[in-house]
Amino acid sequence: MSLANIITLSRLPLLFVYICFLLADSIMLRLGSFSLLIILFLMDWFDGYMARRRQEVTALGAVLDVALDRAVENVLWVVFLSINLVPLWVPILFLIRSFLVDGLRGVALCQGQTVFGMMHSRWGRFLVASRFMRALYGFSKAWIFCQLTLTYALMGQYPDHHQLVLAINLGVIYFVAALCVLRGLPVLLDSRIYFSPPAV
């Protein structure tokens, strides 16, 4: 197995260590979970970097990378739901989006398209495939997960500001959820051509 794939798969046990630290009674462990979360996000970048540098870019690596991204993201939403920092509709939205978008991308891949190459409309290419939107979406998710981690770690330390922090968190959650829908809709629309009957 390539080094890049080992790094990718290593994110899963690290995710569970993060959860154990986050839910611990010790404030030091909870704060330590923030560092583990940063490492999780850096590993997502580092596996791709190593694959390109060592010329080990493979279809398996791409599938594993997307699968681990989805696992980390959806597990984090569920964890924050369980500690009452996000409303129920948030993980439901992201889970539905994950299944629909990844399923449609699988159909496109079977027909010789790439994940981003399947986008043929101009606005679809911008919202889904452009480097700017991909970076904005990834950064926004990383930001809210870090913010929620610190909120939970420190929530007993600053009780006077608790409601303000929760309101700020909710505002960022709405922004990330809007991006989720905005980037998911073009995939639904542009993938229709892969279900059309072939021209005679």
In tens, the pLDDT along 54-66 reads 776 766 666 777 7
Domain edges within the chain: 3-195
Question: Tokens 């611990």 map to which residue?
Answer: 24
Q: Has domain 3-195 been given CATH number 1.20.120?
A: yes
CA atoms of 20 and 13, how far apart (whole Å): 11
- 108-157 pLDDT, tens digit per residue, is 777 777 777 778 888 888 998 888 998 999 999 999 999 999 999 988 67
* Helical (H) or strand (E) element with 58: none
Query: Residue 178: its pLDDT value, please?
Result: 96
Question: What proportion of the chain, given as a percentage, has pLDDT over 90?
Answer: 48
Q: How confident is the model at residue 103 (pLDDT cuts 50, 70, 90)?
A: confident
CA atoms of 40 and 34, how far apart (whole Å): 10
